[in-house]
Amino acid sequence: MNTACENVRGHLDAYLSRELPEETSREVQRHLESCPQCAAELETRVRIRAKLQAAVRATPVPVHLQAKIRRAVRGARPRPRTGLWAVAAAALVIVCVALVSRLRVQANPEEAILRKTTGRLAAVLNVGLRDHLHCAVFRKYSKQPEAARQMAADLGPGFADLVALVQAKLPGDFRIIQGHHCNAGGRQYTHLIIASGAGGGKIVSLILTRRQTGESLTGSIHQAGVDRFQVVGFASHDYLAYVISDLDAQQNLQLAANLAPALREYLAEHST
């Protein structure tokens, strides 16, 4: 391969992409007409590019994605075309809202934290977080473990066996201190409150609630950090399940991942 060939091969891809200046392109063209080796090399690069295009373009697009995007778009408002006056007015509104929400923060700490959840799964992650805040964080209750009999009675025959199942999957220094059914924001929950002995008593909630129309957490486990809380949520059969705590993200996720397989089985039996 001589210098001319080396020079041309350096330009071959740009030649294929029609990115060469006209004069250079003509020079490459002339060389290719008289050099079978470089012409063969061009042929190889054409084939590789065609194969690459075919392989990438064969990537199957999930069939539900278009409908999912349409739904998301229709549920979100676009930013309007605004003039300067409108920007000023919007800024004023933001200041007012900020002032009002500061007042509301003082009035209702639960709602203030729930408003910090962002992302498209905010609503469904807040379903669990609401109960954790309401029942395990801002409610006054004894941090001493309840008697097993008391928990069994509070959970009723339907869920009494949940305590042993969960306790078996928890690390040694975590203990279930309460088990009951509770109500937050007009919704029923099954709730285990778990305390970790180590490191100054972290509180973990395992929360189960029946899934309502339109609520989904498809596929895998979902995780979000909201304020000082870590929320892990997943759906199983007719239920949404949450593990929420003030542990660090990795610990909380690990706890949830340990519980998930057994819980999925358990909830399959409890679903109609």
CB of 86 or CB of 95, closer to other proteins: 86
Cβ partners under 8 Å of residue 8, min gap 6: 27, 28, 31, 32, 35, 38
Residue 115: partners with Cβ closer than 8 Å, 6 or more residues away: 101
Single out the residue of 157, 154, 136 nearest to residue 146, CA to CA. Answer: 154
Residues within the interface to other proteins (CB under 8 A): 1, 9-10, 13-14, 17, 19, 40-41, 43-45, 47-49, 51-59, 61-62, 65-66, 68-70, 72-74, 76-81, 86, 118-121, 219-225, 253, 257, 260-261
Q: How far is the CB of 15 from other proteins (least distance, A)?
A: 12
Choice between 40 and 107, CB closer to other proteins: 40
Q: How far is the CB of 114 from other proteins (least distance, A)?
A: 14
**What is the maximum span of the chain, computed from C-alpha positions, in angstroms?**
93
Residue whose CB is less far from other proteins, 55 or 84: 55
Rounded to the nearest whole angstrom, what is the least distance from the CB of residue 265 to other proteins in the complex? Answer: 11
Find the length of the chain. 272
Apex CA 171: angle with CA 151 and CA 221, to 5°?
90
Spatial separation of the C-alpha atoms in residues 255 and 263, rounded to whole Å: 12
Measured from the CB atom, is 182 or 232 closer to other proteins? Answer: 232
**Exposure of 75 in the CB half-sphere (CA atoms within 13 A):** 10
Report the phi/psi class of residue 186: left, alpha or beta, with left for phi > 0 and alpha for psi in -120 to 50.
left
What is the spatial distance between Cα 198 and Cα 171, in angstroms, rounded to a whole number? 11
Minimum Å gap between C-beta 120 and other proteins is 7
Among residues 62 and 172, whose Cβ is nearest to other proteins? Answer: 62
The residue among 169 and 181 lying less far from other proteins, judged by its C-beta, is 169
Which one, of 129, 91, 86, lies nearest residue 111 by Cα? 129
Taking the complex as a whole, the smallest distance from the CB of residue 207 to other proteins amounts, in Å, to: 18
Closest contact distance (angstroms) between CB of 256 and other proteins is: 9
